[in-house]
Chains A and B, each alone.
Chain A
Amino acid sequence: MTTTEQQIDPKLIKVLEKVSDPEIPVLSIMDMGVVRSAIIEEDLVKVEITPTYSGCPAMDVIGDDIKKALKEAGYNSEIELILAPAWTTDWITPRGRKALEDYGIAAPLSAQADKDALLGNKKIVKCTNCGSTNTRLVSQFGSTACKAQFQCDDCQEPFDYFKCLK
């Protein structure tokens, strides 16, 4: 239960990659790192998912979407929500980070850099529109629990920053 390793049956990877985060549709739940295990036991697939934030309202939808996707692939499934080990932004894959940036959400920085950024000490968050780091924090809380609001002082574009969670 405390392993940080994912255990995903190779046969299921393609199916699970098709399920996306309902609040960030460009991001597959696999790239998000919320699927911790998916194991085929006889005629049942057992899937363990973990929430990004405790109150994340997307989890119920993600669970349903996984069930649906597996059903279409011919599997019955059982979804379990697990809390340990707790999700961290480190589990977002490089492909996931790129998808976030392309979508207009700045990917999470390291823990120390995140602190500096959110306290407004350093200008390090890169604008997703023009790439400038001349950006400023508008609010530590954004449109969803996992994001903060920033604005670029060069191109004036407002954008979301995915907060580091460690």
Chain B
Amino acid sequence: MNNNNLYQYILGIADNSLILGQRLGELTGHGPSLETDIACTNMSLDLFGQVRSYYQYAAKIAGDGRTEDDIAMLRKERNYLNVLLVEQPNTDFAYTMARQFLFDVYHFLFLQELQKSKDLTLSAIANKSIKEVSYHQRFSSDWIKRLGDGTEESQKKMQTAIDDLWRFTDELFHQTDADKSMVSEGVGVDVTKLKDTYYKKISDILEESTLKIPESKYFQKGGKQGIHTEHMGYLLTELQYMQRAYPNMEW
């Protein structure tokens, strides 16, 4: 098996969770209420925990002396392979929950399949993570319903967030070269096969929430190739600050 493909494949999965975890972590002490603040940071912690397992494995595969921290903290923007969706900012709580919901539904479907991977480390991580992600999905879906089917104002805000983030959903189902190679090895998940189920699940919940399903066919992509939106640089600046300012610092 081509180790570089496996390495790239692991990064593709892990970077989504790292960057989303960072976004959620930004809400520490800034959530709209104590409970939602704690919930967002709990989810962030789950994602960071999962990410550690992935990066530890990636470090082992790379075998060049880099540690999990080096991989997580010291890459340049173009080398992060997360989808554009997860790097979008916490514009307001509707955006935070819409982003979470659009990712959670995908994340759950993805992990369900990754559990069947021939790679025992990846299937073990998936098996562990999916239990946590099912709680995330429940939480974000719940907020879509509460805000969507809430007041006129909350519905307007949630609809705006869904409409605005919709263009980042299609990228979740794009296959990279590493994806294709890992799928053919029985290691990776064929994301193209998740697409119909994903949009069906999303549509059902949006309808239940009295929200409109966006009709736009315009989608943005690039994250999986390391070409990010303008928000990514700022996010990384904060994420990497300690390691850049105090190289090799340990917790």
Contacts and interface: CB of A to CB of B under 8 A. Distances in A.
State yes or no: do A and B come from one complex. Answer: yes
Interface of A: 1, 51, 53-57, 83-87, 118-119, 138-143, 145, 149, 163, 165-166
Contact of A53 (B36, B46, B138): B46
B152 interface: no
A142 B37 CA distance: 10
A165 B131 CA distance: 6
A140 B141 CA distance: 13
A86 B39 contact: no
Interface string B2-37: 000000000000000000000000000000000110
Main secondary structure, interface of A, reads loop
A86 B124 contact: yes
B88 interface: no
A3 B176 CA distance: 35
Contacts of A55: 45-50, 52
B125 interface: yes
Given A54-B46, A119-B138, A139 B38 contact: yes
- Classify the interface of chain B: helix, strand, loop or mixed: helix
A153 B206 CA distance: 32
A1 B45 CA distance: 26
Interface of B: 35-36, 38-39, 42-43, 45-50, 52-53, 120-121, 123-125, 127-129, 131-132, 135, 138-139, 142
Given A55-B48, A118-B138, A145-B46, 7 more contacts: A1-B120, A51-B128, A54-B50, A54-B132, A57-B45, A83-B124, A140-B138
Contact of B39 (A54, A119, A140): A140
Most chain B CB within 10 A, of A53, A56, A85, A141, is at A141
